[in-house]
A and B are shown apart, each in its own frame.
Chain A
Amino acid sequence: MPMSNLRFLSLPILLLSWGSSFAAIQAGANLSTNQVMTGEAFVLQVQVSDDKKEELPWPQVGGLEHFQVSKNTSMSSSSQTTIVNGHVSQSSAYITTFVYTLTAQQPGNFTLGPIRYEFKDFKQELGSAAITVSKSVAGLAAQSFLSKRKAYVGEQILYTLRIVPKEGVQSISLPEGMQKFIGEKFFFEQLDKNFTPKIETINGQQVKVFDAHIALFPLLAGKASLEGIPVEYQVVRRQRRGQSMFDAFDDAFFGGGNVITQRAIAESQKMEVLSLPPGAPTGFTGSVGQYALSAKVDKNAVAAGDAITLTVTIRGNGQPKSMTKPVMPDLQDFEVFDPEESSSSAQQGNTQWTTKVFKYALVPHRQGSYKLSQIAFPYFDPERGAYARAESAPIEIQVGPGKEENATFSRALPQREIAELGSDIRHIKTDVARLENEGDLPYHHVWFAGLFTLPPLALAGALVLRRRRDRLRSDSAFLRKTQAGSKMRRRLKEAQQALTAGKPREFYQELSEALIGFVSDALNQEFRGMTLDEAKTALASKGAAVGTIATYETLMQRCDFVRFAGLSASALELKSDMDSAEKLLEQLDRELG
């Protein structure tokens, strides 16, 4: 609120000149205006000067109860230098401003004051002011109408809030939280979400009006009153300061006016709410108004166990919350699942109509012909003053043979799952000879980690095997040495066969071949054709033990004696030589390694 347009009327002004007097504390007050309209804000300022910087208390102001008040405070300072007879002195003043922003709620004449300021030893009466508050009819008129003064509990009543704005009015809005104005005795739905102006003829004049429609549903019987709903708007007030060359610019278009937010309140309304008569039918849930019900099925012929979708639609103008599920007939041979609900509202004329759709899944248990009738919605008809039932036309359903057993849950069900419900759970599993513990996971065991080491070990083995094979191919000495053992064992076997057959010459022949062949292969040196001394030297040079060499010599000599000198040998000697040869070969294998 600008302070340029201050009017100091009956309020005594004590706005003191700080330079004329330098008492410790001084106080004064001013008022922005003393003629306002309801909803218009004006300002009272109390200024207190102190020579010390200290926190000052608020003044005492009477008559504030007639206004809506918001308060704030501010502090400023000033200093002054004085020269008297060549003597220079300097003083400071700290000015605290107490600001009251006041808004008149009701029209009438009020007194603002007395205004008093007290602090320590300082006391001062600052006077009082007469305020004239006029009704803010100049900018906008708000009127209210009820379609009925007498209605039943739950019946829809139309409340119309007519707003007639005048020139310069802008930004009309209804308050947030309408419920607090309408009260707890009514449930309401605002029908017109947006204001649309229309032209009406009022008192012979065509004027622009805005109608806001609200559907009210009384909740309690008895006398009920609706408080006036406040309408907020803004209006531009021109400021006239006398004729001057600048008057042409003193217009809102050029920013020369003030935009004032004001509030107009429609008059309150009273009505009588009638209670519903006794004798409500079964299934009545408080719906009052006009209602219609229709029902249909998605198919009229099904097999037992298959699901049918029954759609029941209820339309009415009563309170939406009272529109609950319809009363269903006793469907003994059907399993009825809780319905899926949907709701929508539409405005037709100045009446709100609510449509609720209930989709039931019905699963017939038995084969046969059925008639679904008496799907009903009980309500109270206020026009007839009696209870009524909206009923569906009968629906015929043919149920063919099918699976009868069904599960027995009753739950809300989306349409897409109805197919699932048409069947039953699958049977238990009995094809088990012995249960396995499938929850015992292999990676929790050490052996499983061990199992993972097998493939790398196999790879290592394959690498070794491959290397050996390559060496056997390329290294003949290694090949002979590798095969020496097996060759020797084959010959010893043949010697054994000769021994068993009682053929000493052949026995010693094989024994001799086994000995010579083995050392030849093991040392990769041809022993055939060597003298015994040369063979002994060769064995010694390869690290054979003296005892081993001696045994070799003895055995070779015995072989030669039998083969070439015709020396005979007993079976016991043959066996002994066989054993000696086997031991010798084992020793040679170790020592020639």
Chain B
Amino acid sequence: MKSLIALLFAFAAITTLHATDLSAATELFKQGNAAYEKGSFEEAAAAYQKAEDLGVANARLYYNHGNALFRLNQLGPAILSYERARKLAPLDEDIAANLRFAQARVVDKIPEPERNVLTKILWGLHSAYSLHTGVWIAFGLFALAFAGVCATLLLATSRWLFITLSTISVLALLAFSPSLFYKIHQQESEEYGIVLSQSVEMYSGPGENYQVLAKVHEGTRFEIVELHGEWLSVKLANGKGGYVKADRLGKV
């Protein structure tokens, strides 16, 4: 019993600390907004950065931070913030517009592989929700499927309606699951990086004595394949890969 009480106190303490962080982050966020409105973009960026340093991941925070960095002509960091925001809120039009706007200024235009119509539609659907939302959608469908069965067992009327509801929920869950699991895989396994310095050399191996394959400029997006000490094995959107120094990229 004593240990249970101690556990409850510990949980309460964690929750309280978390709530304090969120309050502090919100305050910093508001300070950043006020500075931005005054045109003090450096001050705004610093406030947003402090809020992020508290461990708060929030699409609005990242978006506003991206705006402040963009105003400071820090294209790479601005794109990194927009990418982070988009990851949390993929349907937000403002985030998508500003990301597009910033990406238009990136020197390297790397064409992504062409997709056919079906793949485009599926990819569009897959990209249309955040992982956070997806997890709750999955739970909702799961609960709805069981609720339908329960209602069928307990209610005397409208049984066919509940059977249909349950079946649709199960089918929707089955259809949705691959996308969700892929999203979880992307979240847990795939990492992306943005070039933060003006340019970065991509080598054929993890060292400066290797051949330089390409010079990639600020704001370009890489998929991070593997870490080799101070070097990252990376891949561009067009499939070309190489090694870059880890400290030149910001992880999304």
* A interface, CB within 8 angstroms of B: 407-409, 411-414, 417, 420-421, 423-430, 432-443, 448, 451-452, 454-456, 458-459, 461-463, 465-466
From 1 to 46 in chain B, residues with beta carbon under 8 angstroms from any chain A beta carbon are 18, 22-23, 25-26, 29, 33, 36-37
Contact yes or no, A441 B153, CB < 8 A = no
Contact yes or no, B107 A412, CB < 8 A = yes
A41 to chain B, nearest CB (A): 39
B163 at interface (Cβ–Cβ under 8 A)? no
Given contact pairs A435-B60, A436-B58, A466-B154, A443 touches B98 in the complex (Cβ within 8 A): no
Contact yes or no, A428 B150, CB < 8 A = no
Of B26, B106, B143, the residue contacting A455 (CB under 8 A) is B143
> With the chains together, A458 CA to B144 CA distance in Å?
12
Contact yes or no, B132 A438, CB < 8 A = yes
B212 at interface (Cβ–Cβ under 8 A)? no
Contact yes or no, B60 A459, CB < 8 A = no
Which residues of chain A are near B147, meaning CB under 8 Å? 455, 458
> With the chains together, A564 CA to B249 CA distance in Å?
100
Q: In the complex, what residue of chain B is closest to A428 when comparing beta carbons?
A: B64
A403 to chain B, nearest CB (A): 14
Of A411, A426, A438, the residue contacting B105 (CB under 8 A) is A411
Of A448, A455, A463, the residue contacting B153 (CB under 8 A) is A463
Contact yes or no, B29 A425, CB < 8 A = no
Contact yes or no, A435 B146, CB < 8 A = no
> With the chains together, A442 CA to B36 CA distance in Å?
33
Contact yes or no, A436 B131, CB < 8 A = no
B83 to chain A, nearest CB (A): 13
Shortest Cβ-Cβ A-B pairs, 9 listed: A439-B57, A455-B146, A462-B150, A417-B104, A409-B105, A428-B64, A420-B104, A426-B94, A429-B60
> With the chains together, A412 CA to B108 CA distance in Å?
9
> With the chains together, A463 CA to B109 CA distance in Å?
60
A371 to chain B, nearest CB (A): 29
> With the chains together, A168 CA to B70 CA distance in Å?
73
- Which segment of B134-142, B199-207, B230-238, B240-248 sits at the interface? B134-142
Which residues of chain A are near B88, meaning CB under 8 Å? 438-439
A405 to chain B, nearest CB (A): 10
From 80 to 95 in chain B, residues with beta carbon under 8 angstroms from any chain A beta carbon are 88-89, 94
> With the chains together, A272 CA to B251 CA distance in Å?
59
Contact yes or no, B109 A432, CB < 8 A = no
Contact yes or no, A455 B142, CB < 8 A = yes
Contact yes or no, A442 B135, CB < 8 A = yes
B129 at interface (Cβ–Cβ under 8 A)? no
A sample of 23 cross-chain residue pairs with beta-carbon separation below 8 angstroms, ordered by A number, consists of A408-B73, A413-B105, A414-B109, A420-B104, A421-B105, A425-B102, A426-B67, A426-B98, A428-B33, A428-B36, A428-B67, A434-B26, A437-B18, A437-B55, A438-B59, A442-B132, A451-B139, A452-B142, A458-B150, A459-B149, A462-B150, A462-B153, A466-B153
Contact yes or no, A435 B139, CB < 8 A = no
Of B59, B61, B73, the residue contacting A409 (CB under 8 A) is B73
> With the chains together, A443 CA to B59 CA distance in Å?
19
A291 to chain B, nearest CB (A): 29
> With the chains together, A454 CA to B144 CA distance in Å?
12
Q: In the complex, what residue of chain A is closest to B25 when comparing beta carbons?
A: A435
Q: In the complex, what residue of chain A is closest to B143 when comparing beta carbons?
A: A455
Which residues of chain B are near A430, meaning CB under 8 Å? 33
Contact yes or no, A441 B135, CB < 8 A = yes
Of B36, B150, B184, the residue contacting A459 (CB under 8 A) is B150
Given contact pairs A432-B26, A434-B26, A441-B187, A407 touches B153 in the complex (Cβ within 8 A): no
| Contacts beyond the supplied A420-B104, A441-B187, A443-B184: 4 A-B pairs with Cβ under 8 Å | A407-B70, A426-B97, A459-B150, A462-B154
Which residues of chain A are near B37, meaning CB under 8 Å? 428
B contact residues, total (Cβ < 8 Å): 54
Q: Is the interface of B mostly helix, strand, loop or mixed?
A: helix
> With the chains together, A279 CA to B36 CA distance in Å?
51
Contact yes or no, A425 B98, CB < 8 A = yes
Given contact pairs A413-B104, A437-B22, A438-B59, A425 touches B132 in the complex (Cβ within 8 A): no
A548 to chain B, nearest CB (A): 37
Per-residue 0/1 for B99-142: is the Cβ within 8 Å of any A Cβ (1 yes, 0 no)? 01110111101000000000000000000001110011001001
Contact yes or no, B22 A462, CB < 8 A = no
> With the chains together, A508 CA to B93 CA distance in Å?
78
Which residues of chain A are near B33, meaning CB under 8 Å? 428, 430
B75 at interface (Cβ–Cβ under 8 A)? yes
Contact yes or no, A434 B143, CB < 8 A = no
Which residues of chain A are near B168, meaning CB under 8 Å? none
Which residues of chain A are near B149, meaning CB under 8 Å? 459, 462
B63 at interface (Cβ–Cβ under 8 A)? yes
Which residues of chain A are near B58, meaning CB under 8 Å? 435-439
Of A417, A424, A448, A454, the residue contacting B143 (CB under 8 A) is A454
Contact yes or no, B101 A420, CB < 8 A = yes
B195 at interface (Cβ–Cβ under 8 A)? no
> With the chains together, A461 CA to B23 CA distance in Å?
41
> With the chains together, A435 CA to B88 CA distance in Å?
13
B165 at interface (Cβ–Cβ under 8 A)? no
B225 at interface (Cβ–Cβ under 8 A)? no
Contact yes or no, B143 A436, CB < 8 A = no
> With the chains together, A434 CA to B21 CA distance in Å?
11
Q: In the complex, what residue of chain A is closest to B27 when comparing beta carbons?
A: A435
B51 at interface (Cβ–Cβ under 8 A)? yes
Which residues of chain A are near B36, meaning CB under 8 Å? 428
> With the chains together, A429 CA to B131 CA distance in Å?
22
Which residues of chain B are near A433, meaning CB under 8 Å? 26
Contact yes or no, A443 B135, CB < 8 A = yes
> With the chains together, A433 CA to B143 CA distance in Å?
31
Q: In the complex, what residue of chain B is closest to A419 when comparing beta carbons?
A: B104
Q: In the complex, what residue of chain A is closest to B180 when comparing beta carbons?
A: A443
Interface centre among A411, A423, A433 (most CB of B within 10 A): A411
Given contact pairs A414-B109, A437-B22, A442-B136, A458 touches B101 in the complex (Cβ within 8 A): no
B189 to chain A, nearest CB (A): 14
Of B22, B131, B132, the residue contacting A434 (CB under 8 A) is B22
Per-residue 0/1 for B205-245: is the Cβ within 8 Å of any A Cβ (1 yes, 0 no)? 00000000000000000000000000000000000000000
> With the chains together, A433 CA to B60 CA distance in Å?
12
A423 to chain B, nearest CB (A): 7
Q: In the complex, what residue of chain A is closest to B87 when comparing beta carbons?
A: A439
Which residues of chain B are near A442, meaning CB under 8 Å? 132, 135-136
> With the chains together, A408 CA to B72 CA distance in Å?
9
Contact yes or no, B98 A432, CB < 8 A = no
Q: In the complex, what residue of chain B is closest to A469 when comparing beta carbons?
A: B154
Q: In the complex, what residue of chain B is closest to A451 when comparing beta carbons?
A: B139
> With the chains together, A349 CA to B217 CA distance in Å?
42
Q: In the complex, what residue of chain B is closest to A414 when comparing beta carbons?
A: B109
Which residues of chain A are near B60, meaning CB under 8 Å? 429, 432, 435
> With the chains together, A411 CA to B106 CA distance in Å?
7
